[in-house]
Structures are given as structure tokens and as C-alpha cells.
Amino acid sequence: MIQAWARPMTWVLVTLVTVTLALAGTGVFPARAADPIKIGFGMALTGGLSANGKPALLAVQIWKDDINKKGGLLGRPVELVFYDDQTNPATVPQIYTKLLEVDKVDLIISGYGTNLIAPLLPIAMERKLTLMGMFGLANNEKYQYPNYFQIQPAGPEPQISTAIGFFELAAKQNPKPQTVAIVGADAEYPQNALVGARELIKKFGFKTVYDKTYPPSTTDYTPIVRAIKATNPEIVFIASYPPDSVGMLRAAQEVGLEPKIMGGGMVGLMFTTFMTSLGSLLNGIVNYDFWAPEPAFLAMPGIKEFLKEYQARADKAGVDPLGYYLPPYSYALMQVLGQAVEATKGLDQQKIADYIRKTEFATIVGRVKFGKNGEWATGRTLMVQYQKISGNSIDQFRGPGKKVVLYPDEFKSGDLIYPYAAAKK
Amino acid sequence: MVAGLLLGGFYAAVSLGVSVIFGLLDIANIAQPAFLLLGAYAAYLMNTSFALDPILTGILFTPLFYLLGAVVYRVYYESFERRGEESLRGLVFFFGLLFIIEVSLSLKFGVDYRLVQAGYIGKSIDLGGVGIAFRLLVPCLVGIGMTVALYLFLGRTFYGRAIMAVSQDRLALRLMGADPVHIKTIAFGVGIAAASLAGALLVTIAPVVPSTDRDYIGRMFATTVLGGMGSIPGTLAAGVILGMVESLMSTFFGPSWSLAVSFGILLIVLAVRPAGLFGR
């Protein structure tokens, strides 16, 4: 009787198992069809920027669910691996090292915001990764990394993008206003926006009568507004973060500051909680934005379905109930990445980047084409004016007419009510 | 000047709790700003749910926060102070509490900025050509009222005097037949209740998020130290000084300098009078 170990078939089996295990260890076998494609990122789920980070995460999750319903990418399901960066740039290197080394993600995207993208760019450059950036202002100006792409529609000149529409509108008025006050917080975004504003003031020939900054933790803004009022400016450009936006607006109302045009770069006014809380106090303010529920934007393919899904899930997720600022762009960012993976039929970082660089993408925020430094080839920072808001109901903000687009002309949905005092009524 | 006075009244209200807990009891309660935020969110919740005035909510909720403070002190006492481990471990305990409260607020209310509505917010009164915002005037008046009430409580009542005594000589108080732990429990509760009411004032003035507490840690402790540890009138005076400096700097020299000059004044005062303005 022949022993089991001596049978030829047993040896064949043992050899096959050994070779299989060895090859699997070297990664010779391609990923199986059922293996998920992992997309990794850090996101501000706590800390100062979490009010935007959490809605952005929800938008990315909606994209993942949508794409998986359609069969995933390259026939494989998509899985998100993400960690809370606590709005702390110091956590970014550790998070992405873990994502790349331990979690072995296939693709990365950035977290939300300029400060959180800044430490990630060198990591992506070192590893030659394609990096999709989520709302960072002028992050790639110094690095000029060719495989970085920014979904914020700031355009090729991000530094002046926030203010250009504001000053162009002011310059078009008859008689043209002459004097400008500019004010902003001592923080990265407002400082960038103020640099752009100073450049534009020169370009349009205005005269600066007040140019000061304040600490972001200021409690009372009335002394600042009083000082501005004392200079009697016709234009007031404010570059502020959410708490100071509210502080400045309330102080302006209380002190009676009424220039001919006011606003510009105030972050926070586009958040639903602020729109409903401030109500008619917003009337007349001219401010930058990226999305408004005006006809041109609502007509973009897929946006209504996305907003319906987002708004249905927003309450449970504890995020902005309307989601008109960042979420459509977060979803569009994933659409760009997904389309590039499908088109290049693989996960080769260089091929994906090359494809993104040369292609115009169809997304829920319209056609997206990247240009210099990975910014949008043509900028699309809107200038909107809050008009005819009454009371604090959320429903009035769902449709057109309250946040009227004034700039650029191709998206214009109404006219500027000028001066500010007339729009306040 | 007027804006500075108004801001000063509010700063005093924010710092009164620290004056009692840190100044009188010598407990470095780093979590004090988190209780400020708890008070702010309580006011927000009642304002959005029942349209209750935020400051009225703050007053109504003080007994509840007093009890919460008493419980926190008992836990702290049993876990650290009784064992003589209050210095470093106690500090870690309050740090932990700060983060737990902050994360709990994030989970319950989300991370959006929260504002309240009240009839007087956004309105102002003209006094001799100077517009005074009710949004700042009302918290200032409440802050002054809190200061007077706490001053009278500490100086005129049995428990108030006992708190002053426990801050000076714990052993002597025990020899007089009073229980220092009981007295400290009351004082801690009063300190937390004051913080919660100040939180209601805060949300009346400006929008809040769960991480707003971090902006106030420095201001609260600086006001207490500048006024003189544990001095209630000193806290009001320090609050007014810091508020006026901040306001005058913002108006005349540029707001960027306001905090630096405020803290510069603190350093100068401490160099000249190490015990603070009203410290003994």
C-alpha cells in the first residue's frame, strides 16, 4: 500500500499551494474583482473647520453609495477609509502615512481647507501621487506640482478670485464710488483675500481709507466698525471667518454703518444656520459664493438628485441642512477622480493625473477643466447679493431669488440693488 | 470707552466662576470654559425649542448647574483631593472633563455655529451720539449684577463667609466645627453656576461652536489673576480694564494689537503688584 505522502497527486497539490502562497506575498497576482478600491483621506470632523468638514464627508459618502450602486469602479466596489484630522494640520502627515502604509489605500483625496492641504502636498509629491484638493486657496502656487487638482473654482489667479467680482461690481456703478475700507481677521484665508483686495483697489483706482486686521478671537466688533464708520467709506470689503462675519454684520447694524456696497469675502454667510438666524440682516450684503439655488445651477445634470439625497441624510448626520456651499463640489471632486479611474482603466497615479489634466469633466457643478497649478482653467467665484429676505424660515432659501447671482455675467440671475441702504429696506 | 465698559462687564461675568474656584478654592479648574459653553448651549436649546430668552434661561438653569458643580467637586474630592493627589492628577482630570464636554456638545449639537434670537439683539440705543448695542448692554448689566450678588453673598452670608474662611485657613475652619469639604462643594457649585449664566450671556453676544471654549481659557484666567486671586470687585475691575484696552486699541490703533496690549498690561501689573490689583 502506497503512503499518502508518496502519491504523485499529493506532491502536485503541495507544490501548487506553496507557489500560490509565495506569489501572493510578492503581489504578482492582480487584485481580485471583489477587492474594494480604497480611497483614503483625513477630514475635519471636529475642531474649527468641522462645520464644513462633516458636510463634505457626507457628500463623499453619497458619491461612494451612488458609484457602488452602479457596480463600483473598474467593476470593484469602492471603500472609503477616513480619519478625523481635528482641523489640526499637525495630524495630516500621520494620517496619510497610516492610510498609505497600513491601510494600503489605492487613491487619496485631501481633507477640507487650505491649512489641511498645505502639509499634504509635500507627501503627495514625494510619493508621486495624484492629489485632489478640497477647497484650498492657492496651495500649489509655490510647489507647482503637476499632479495636484483643486475643485474650488477659484481659477488661475486664486488670490484675487474672492474679491474681483466685488470690486468689478463697485467700479461699474454710476457715479463710481471712490473710497474703500478693507478689514479682515489675522488668519490665512482673510490675509490672502486682503492681499487680493489691495491689488484690485489699485487696479480699479479706488482710494483706501481704512486697512486693518483683527485677532480671530475678538468678542466685540463694535469698536472696529465704529473706526470704519469714522472714515466714511463708500465701499467696505470684509474678509472674515464665520464668527466674525456675524459679529461684523451685527455691529454694522447697531452702529449704523451704511456704505454704498458692503461684504466681499465673508465666510459663513452661506451656511444655512447663519442665513436663517441672521434673516433680514443679510439683505443688501454682496458676498462671494460658489453655488446658489438659481436657475443656471439647478439646471446642471445630477444636482437635484444629489441635493435631494444630501438633504434627506443631513439631519441624521448633524450637518448643514441645505448643503449649498461645499457638498456639491465635494461630490464633483469624487466624480472627477472616478471618471479618471474608469477612463484610464487602472490605478496608475501618473496616468490618472495625465488624464485629469487634459480632460473636461461633466459634474454636478457643471463642466470642470483644470489649468495652471491644478486650479480651474477659468475661475467661477460668484458674487451674490442677499435680497428680499424676511423672517427666519429655511424654506425661503431653498429656491431662487434670495441669493441673487450678480457675477460673472454668464451665471447672472438678477441685478445689484444699489446702494446698500436701498437693499436693506 | 463705552464699548470697553460693556465688554468689561461681560468679561467679569465670564471670570467670576474662575475667581471663586481658582482664586478662592485654589483648584485649577481648566474645564471652567467648557461649563461656560454648556450654559451657552442650554440657552440655545431653550431658545430654539421654546423661544425662551437666553438670559432668562441662564438664570433659570443656575440651580441645575450648581448641582452639577457640586457633583463634579465631590468626584474630584474623592478621587484626588482626599488622597492629596490634587495638583497634577487633578489638572489632568479637569483637562479630561474639558474634552469630554466639548465632544459631547459636538455629538449632540453638531459642529455648526449656533445663534440665539431675542428682541433686543441687533437693536441699539443712542446715548449722546454713542450707539449702545443692547446685545452688549444687557450682558454687561447682568455681569455687574452677578458681581454685586456674589460680593454680597461672600461678605454677608454665613456660607459666603465660610467660603472666604476656607480659602484662608482650612484647618481653622475645621476647628470651628464647619466641614471644609461641604463648604468647598457649595463654592464649587456657585462657581459652575456663575459660568453657566455667563455662557448664556456669551451666546447672546456671539455665535458659539463646541470649541469656542478654547478662546476663553486665557481671558478667564488672565482676568482673575489681574484682578487679584479671589477678589470679586477685582475681577470686575480687571474685566473692565481688559475690555477698555481691547476696545480703545481696536478703535484708535488697530485691532490686531488689542490682545497683545491687554496681556502686556497683565504682565506689567504682575511685575509691580504680584498679587494682582485687589489681591492681598
Average confidence (pLDDT) over B230-241: 92
Cα separation, A21 vs A24, whole angstroms:
5
Average confidence (pLDDT) over B12-25: 92
pLDDT score of B52 more than 90: yes
pLDDT tens string B259-280: 888 889 889 998 998 888 887 6
Contacts of A65 by beta carbon, 8 Å cutoff, 6+ apart: none
Instruction: Tell me what percent of the residues of chain A surpass a pLDDT of 90.
Output: 74
Q: How far is CA B56 from CA A323, A405, B125, B142, in A?
A: 33, 41, 21, 11
CB nearest B112 (choices: A215, A273, A278): A273
CB nearest A54 (choices: B109, B111, B136): B111
Q: Scanning every residue of chain A, which has its alpha carbon at the shortest distance from the alpha carbon of B210?
A: A47
Q: Scanning every residue of chain B, which has its alpha carbon at the shortest distance from the alpha carbon of A243?
A: B207
pLDDT score of A7 more than 70: no
The C-alpha cell that represents A289 in the structure block? 459664493
Contact A223 B251 (CB under 8 A): yes
Average confidence (pLDDT) over A3-9: 52
| Contact call for residues B237 and B277 (beta carbons, < 8 A) | yes
pLDDT tens string A191-246: 889 999 999 999 999 999 999 999 888 888 999 999 999 999 999 999 998 888 99
- H or E stretch covering A296: helix A295-298
Average confidence (pLDDT) over A168-185: 96
What was the pLDDT predicted at A23? Answer: 46
pLDDT score of A26 more than 50: no
Chain B CB contacts of A258 below 8 Å:
none
Average confidence (pLDDT) over A266-294: 92
Residue where the block lists cell 474649527: A48
ipTM reported for the complex, 2 dp? 0.81
Chain B CB contacts of A246 below 8 Å:
113, 115, 206-207
Contact A274 B117 (CB under 8 A): no
Instruction: Give the closest-approach CA distance of A252 to chain B in angstroms.
Output: 9
pLDDT score of A49 more than 50: yes
How many residues are present in chain B?
280
| Contact call for residues B207 and A48 (beta carbons, < 8 A) | no
**Alpha-helical regions (H) of chain B:** 2-18, 32-50, 54-79, 88-109, 134-156, 158-168, 170-175, 180-205, 213-227, 232-248, 258-272
pLDDT tens string A368-399: 999 999 999 999 999 999 999 998 899 999 98
What was the pLDDT predicted at A28? Answer: 45
CB nearest B206 (choices: A213, A247, A255): A247
Q: Tell me the range of A56-70, A133-147, A155-169, A275-289 where mean pLDDT is highest.
A: A56-70
What was the pLDDT predicted at B202? Answer: 95
Residue B62 — very low, low, confident or very high, per pLDDT cuts 50/70/90?
Answer: very high
Contact B111 A271 (CB under 8 A): no
Instruction: Give the closest-approach CA distance of B256 to chain A in angstroms.
Output: 4
| Contact call for residues A163 and A200 (beta carbons, < 8 A) | yes
Half-sphere exposure at residue A403, Cβ-oriented, CA atoms within 13 angstroms: 29
Query: In 3-state terms, what secondary structure has residue B181?
Result: helix
What was the pLDDT predicted at A33? Answer: 57
The C-alpha cell that represents B247 in the structure block? 476696545
Average confidence (pLDDT) over A321-350: 96
What was the pLDDT predicted at A9? Answer: 54
Cα separation, A287 vs A165, whole angstroms:
9
| B217 near A CB under 8 A | no
| A214 near B CB under 8 A | yes
Strand ranges of the sheet holding A131-134, from the earlier edge strand across to the other edge? A78-84, A37-43, A107-112, A131-134, A148-150
| Contact call for residues B246 and B4 (beta carbons, < 8 A) | yes
What was the pLDDT predicted at A229? Answer: 95
> Which of these ranges, A55-59, A208-212, A222-226, B191-195, has the smallest mean pLDDT?
A222-226
Q: Scanning every residue of chain A, which has its alpha carbon at the shortest distance from the alpha carbon of B131?
A: A255
- Contacting A residues, span 268-297, partner chain B, CB-CB under 8 Å: 268, 271, 273-274, 277-278, 281
pLDDT score of B85 more than 80: no
Cα separation, B117 vs B122, whole angstroms:
10
Instruction: Tell me what percent of the residues of chain B surpass a pLDDT of 90.
Output: 52
Chain A CB contacts of B6 below 8 Å:
220
Residue A18 — very low, low, confident or very high, per pLDDT cuts 50/70/90?
Answer: low
Cα separation, A144 vs B242, whole angstroms:
46
